[in-house]
């Protein structure tokens, strides 16, 4: 037991007096030496004691000794309990008595002695239990050992031990294999392929050894019905190793695909190699999916660890399903035995428009027979400067942006990307005589930042700049706005240089991170795609990756089904980048009364955190539109509780309400729209389905939805996990992507 001491300038002097050798002496000396004390031993009691700080007397009677203030006398009696009790009457203030009941003394008892002596306790007497060595020795001598019985029993024990060892011998190897599998997986996650491969090889060897030993004893495990557990762990390791091995080969094939696509003048053998890689990719994806499904099924139920692993496995399966959906279309996209040209529209969503943002630049990508033939980036003003004809703009551009003509830069003025793509093609044909596009993609500033997240830092030698996801927008804006004039090449040169460097580094990029960031951009509608391949376009539409305006329809065939729709759309017409500072939140309150009439109160709050009215921030001039079901009845629209009397209203496939308002810097504006649906909920069982669509390029706004039902309504089911209380359904979420809320109700 440890005790607390204070450091002094000299060592403490300790005297031990004992006429006979005993079990206490060596242990006591050894423990005292740990504290760097000077120890003196004597078989007789010396005449003077003033030179010592502590005096130990073993089996010596207590006698009166004049002591110093901080001096301690310790009398220890071994097997003399009565004498120790009698001597207690004679001790002074600085004296302690310790009594042992036997002479088999150990280190723990000595620790207790030292704690008793050096502590601040006021106790003066301590009794410690100890065995008698003589009695123990005698008991062993008296006891007769039956050697035959002992040898027979020992043989049986050794035999039993050997059987147990043989049956458990595979476990260390299986444990090592599992640990190697874990290390290999962690190395693969951190993109350390060399380490992942090394641990994969050693792990498989360990698993093979474990399996060899296990197969010998497996009949016993089957006999006792416990073979299921080791079988599961063996299978988990096999699936894990196969999963890692296939993933490594998948990554290698992906890098090889990029290398071959970027290579010019490919031979027929190299083109054939690309086809072979695509076939291998398809097979390997199927293998990985199978491995993940088996792992998901066989993972033992040990929540929360298993729950987390199963969630990660399900997420990975979702990613793989997406890749498998699009993989068959890659040869066509890469123009196998053909030539294809694609249009890229770069939209600055800091100057948000209905279709994603202000089009500052555009690119044209050409593929020919599995080869990237050309990739050029152009400034939008190069094209718009060539337009000679008058194109009538949308009314909001003409009246609020005060532009009498319509140009490519403002072409993303529809919330549907297909319409914007058609408009962009129209402008490019008129302005640059560019035609015959096989598809297009719109990339917002967020998409470029997401892609750069996968690449890390990229050096642009033309500008002597290091660009990453954090500083891209600032640097791009600097080169776009600094000394800007129509025809300036700074912006297109910056984006072109960045594109070239990305292509140069694409063979070394983390394919996993690039795939994740691309999917994130697609899911969040920061990247939208259109293809003239009808089959591919149907898959894009089903994934909500094409930026199309959703046509509301019931998910099931039901007569009593109400399809509600909400699509809020911003259009920044302030000729600034104020959306960088705008925070928007959406809150919808829905009431269904006893007759089944559905009424809404929509609150959209805009907060402008620009510090002043200085570019790139400033006033947020927003032409705000809301798409609603076709026969919606508008009750009123207010801005900060002030009625808005003049607004645009259209009845096409949707009810479209639009109006202009302004949010000054450091201020908040709340827009409230009260409206009622014409369709009512009928008696009986039915569905209420609300579609909330996200605008291309918009931020991930907070979204709150509160359903209040009359007492004659009952909630049966929901597709999300809301807070349900009485007849209230509350969703607190965010608008990361398009969302469909489905509630199954019964009306009495």
Task: For strands 458-460 and 465-467, give the pairing.
Answer: antiparallel
Q: What percent of the chain has pLDDT above 90? A: 46
**Residue in the block written with tokens 């719109």:** 442
pLDDT surpasses 80 at 230: yes
Comparing CA positions, the residue from 354, 424, 736, 723 lying closest to residue 568 is 354
- Strand 372-379 and strand 358-368: the pairing is antiparallel
Q: Going by DSSP bridges, is the β-strand pair 598-608/13-18 parallel, antiparallel, or unpaired? A: unpaired
Q: Does residue 90 sit in helix, strand or coil?
A: helix
**22: which 2 tokens?**
């005993």
Split at pLDDT 50, 70, 90, the class of 366 is: very high
Residue 150 reports pLDDT greater than 70: no
* Per-residue confidence (pLDDT) for residue 527, from 0 to 100: 96
Give CA–CA dist 467/282, Å, rounded: 35
Q: Label residue 2 by pLDDT band (50, 70, 90).
A: very low
State phi, psi for 364 to the nearest 5 degrees. -125, 125
* Residue 8: pLDDT over 70: no
- First-to-last alpha carbon distance for the chain, in angstroms, is 77
Question: How many C-alpha atoms does 458 have within 13 Å on its Cβ side?
Answer: 31
CA distance 348 to 409: 10
Task: Please give the Cα distance from 237 to 747 (Å, whole number).
Answer: 53
Q: Is the pLDDT of residue 149 over 70?
A: no
CA distance 207 to 177: 5
| Per-residue model confidence as pLDDT tens digits over 519-568 | 999 999 999 999 999 999 999 999 999 999 998 888 777 778 999 999 99
Question: DSSP E strands: which ranges in 570-632?
Answer: 582-592, 598-608, 620-628
Q: Residue 491: pLDDT above 60?
A: no
What pLDDT is recorded for position 311?
Answer: 78
Report the pLDDT value the prediction gives residue 145, as an integer from 0 to 100. 53
The answer to whether 211 and 192 are in contact (CB under 8 A) is no
pLDDT digits (tens, 9 = 90+) for 51-96: 888 888 888 887 777 777 778 888 888 888 888 887 777 777 788 8
Residue 589 · residue 641 · CB < 8 Å: no
Query: How far is Cα 87 from Cα 59, in angstroms, rounded to an integer?
Result: 11
Residue 143: pLDDT band (50, 70, 90) is low
**What ranges make up the beta strands (E) of 220-317?**
none
Token pair for residue 566? 């909400």
Domain 13-132 indexed as CATH 3.40.50.11890: no
Residue 570 near residue 352, CB atoms below 8 Å = yes
- Give the model's pLDDT for residue 547: 94
16-27 mean pLDDT: 84
pLDDT tens-digit profile of 320-347? 888 899 999 999 999 999 999 999 999 9
Cα separation, 748 vs 304, in Å, equals 42
The pLDDT, as a whole number, for residue 492 is: 57
For 415-457, write each residue's pLDDT tens digit: 999 999 999 999 999 999 999 999 999 999 999 999 999 998 9
Contact of 620 with 667, CB cutoff 8 Å: no
pLDDT in tens, 264-315: 888 999 999 999 999 999 898 888 888 888 877 777 666 665 677 777 788 8
Q: What is the DSSP string of 94-135?
A: TEEEEEESSSB--HHHHHHHHHHHHS-----EEEE--B-HHH
pLDDT at 146: 59
Predicted local confidence at residue 452, as pLDDT: 92
Distance CA(627)–CA(566), nearest Å, equals 6
pLDDT per position as a tens digit, 567-607: 999 999 999 999 999 999 999 999 999 999 999 999 999 99
Query: Residue 3: pLDDT above 60?
Result: no
Strand duo 667-676 + 598-608: pairing: antiparallel
Q: What is the phi/psi pair of residue 298, to 5°?
A: -95, -5
Answer for the pair 178, 237: CB distance below 8 angstroms, yes or no: yes
CA distances from 677 to 564, 625, 645, 745 (A): 8, 18, 21, 17
Comparing C-alpha atoms, which of 343, 346, 373, 372 is closest to residue 361? 346
Note the Cα 91 to chain centre separation in Å.
71
pLDDT (0 to 100) of residue 7: 44
Cis bond upstream, residue 736 (ω within 30): no
Q: Indicate whether 675 pLDDT > 60.
A: yes
Return the DSSP state at 224. Answer: T
Decide which of 2.60.40.3680, 3.30.1180.20, 1.10.150.120, 3.30.413.10 is the CATH code for 561-747: 2.60.40.3680
Q: Round to whole Å and give the CA distance between 733 and 283.
A: 38
Least-confidence region, from 216-220, 623-627, 632-636: 216-220
Average pLDDT value for residue range 717-742: 84
- Given the structure tokens 């599998």, which residue do they identify? 181
268 Rama sector, left if φ>0, alpha if ψ -120 to 50, beta otherwise = alpha
- Tell which phi-psi region holds residue 123, choosing left (phi > 0), alpha (psi between -120 and 50) or beta: beta
Burial label for 83, CB within 10 Å (0-12, 13-18, 19+), is middle
Quick one: pLDDT at residue 5?
A: 41
Average pLDDT value over all residues in the chain: 87
The reported pLDDT for the residue numbered 98 is 87
């Amino acid at each position: 037991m440890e005790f607390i001491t204070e450091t002094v300038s000299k060592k403490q002097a300790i005297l031990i007096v004992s006429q006979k050798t005993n079990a206490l002496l060596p242990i006591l000396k050894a423990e005292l030496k740990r504290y760097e004390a000077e120890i003196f031993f004597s078989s007789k009691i010396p005449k003077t004691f003033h030179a010592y700080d502590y005096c130990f007397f073993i089996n010596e009677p207590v006698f009166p000794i004049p002591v110093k203030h901080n001096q301690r006398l310790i009398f220890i009696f071994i097997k003399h309990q009565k004498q120790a009790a009698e001597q207690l009457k004679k001790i002074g203030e600085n004296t302690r008595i310790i009594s042992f009941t036997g002479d088999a003394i150990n280190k723990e008892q000595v620790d207790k002695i030292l704690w008793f002596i050096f502590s601040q306790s006021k106790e003066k007497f301590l009794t410690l239990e100890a065995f008698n060595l003589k009695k123990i020795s005698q008991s062993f001598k008296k006891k007769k050992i039956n050697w035959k019985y002992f040898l027979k029993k020992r043989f049986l024990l050794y035999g039993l031990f050997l059987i147990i060892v043989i049956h458990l011998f595979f476990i260390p190897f299986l444990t090592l294999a599992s640990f190697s599998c874990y290390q290999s997986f962690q190395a693969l996650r951190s993109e350390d392929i060399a380490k992942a491969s090394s641990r994969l090889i050693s792990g498989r060897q360990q698993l093979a050894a474990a399996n060899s030993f296990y197969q010998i004893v497996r009949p016993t495990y089957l006999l006792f019905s416990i073979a299921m557990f080791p079988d599961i762990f063996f299978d988990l390791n096999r699936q894990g190793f196969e999963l890692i091995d296939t993933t490594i080969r998948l990554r290698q094939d992906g890098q090889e695909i990029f290398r071959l696509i970027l290579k010019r003048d490919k031979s027929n053998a190299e083109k054939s190699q690309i086809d072979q890689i695509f076939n291998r990719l398809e097979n390997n994806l199927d293998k990985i999916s199978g491995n993940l499904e088996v792992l998901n099924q066989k993972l033992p139920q040990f929540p929360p660890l298993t729950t987390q692993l199963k969630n990660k496995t399900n997420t990975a399966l979702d990613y793989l399903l997406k890749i498998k959906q699009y993989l068959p279309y890659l040869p066509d996209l890469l123009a196998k035995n053909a030539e294809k040209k694609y249009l890229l529209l770069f939209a600055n969503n800091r100057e948000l428009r209905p279709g994603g943002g202000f089009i500052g630049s555009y690119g044209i990508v050409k593929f020919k027979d599995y080869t990237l033939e050309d990739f050029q980036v152009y400034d939008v003003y190069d094209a718009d400067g060539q337009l000679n004809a008058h194109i009538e703009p949308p009314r909001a551009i003409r009246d609020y942006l005060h532009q009498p003509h319509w140009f490519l830069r403002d072409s993303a003025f529809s919330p549907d990307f297909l319409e914007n793509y058609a408009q962009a093609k129209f402008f490019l044909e008129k302005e640059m005589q560019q035609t015959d596009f096989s598809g297009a993609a719109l990339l917002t500033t967020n998409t470029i930042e997401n892609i750069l997240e996968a690449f890390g830092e990229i050096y642009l030698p033309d500008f002597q700049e290091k660009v990453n996801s954090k500083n891209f927008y600032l640097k791009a804006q600097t080169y776009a706005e600094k000394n800007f004039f129509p025809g300036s090449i700074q912006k297109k040169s910056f984006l072109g240089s960045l594109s070239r460097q990305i292509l140069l580094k694409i063979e070394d990029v983390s394919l996993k991170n690039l795939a994740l960031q691309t999917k994130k951009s697609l899911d969040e509608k920061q990247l939208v795609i259109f293809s003239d391949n009808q089959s591919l376009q149907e898959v894009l539409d089903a994934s909500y990756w094409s930026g199309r305006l959703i046509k509301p329809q019931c998910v099931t065939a039901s007569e009593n089904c109400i399809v509600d729709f909400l699509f809020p759309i911003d259009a920044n017409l302030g000729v600034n980048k104020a959306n960088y500072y705008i925070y928007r939140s959406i809150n919808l309150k829905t009431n269904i009364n006893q007759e089944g009439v559905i009424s809404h109160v929509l609150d959209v709050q805009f907060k402008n955190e620009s510090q002043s009215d200085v570019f790139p921030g400033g006033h947020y001039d927003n032409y705000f539109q809301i798409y609603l079901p076709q026969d919606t009845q508008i009750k009123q629209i207010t801005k900060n509780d002030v009625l808005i009397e003049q607004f645009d209203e259209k009845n096409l496939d949707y009810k479209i309400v639009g109006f202009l308002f302004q949010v000054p810097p450091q201020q908040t504006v709340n827009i409230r729209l009260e409206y009622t649906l014409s369709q009512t909920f009928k008696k009986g069982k039915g569905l209420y389905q609300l579609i909330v669509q996200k605008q291309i390029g918009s931020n991930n706004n907070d979204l709150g939805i509160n359903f209040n039902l009359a007492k004659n309504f009952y909630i049966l089911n929901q597709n999300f996990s809301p807070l349900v209380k009485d007849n209230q359904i509350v969703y607190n979420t965010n608008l990361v992507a398009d969302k469909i809320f489905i509630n199954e109700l019964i009306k009495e």
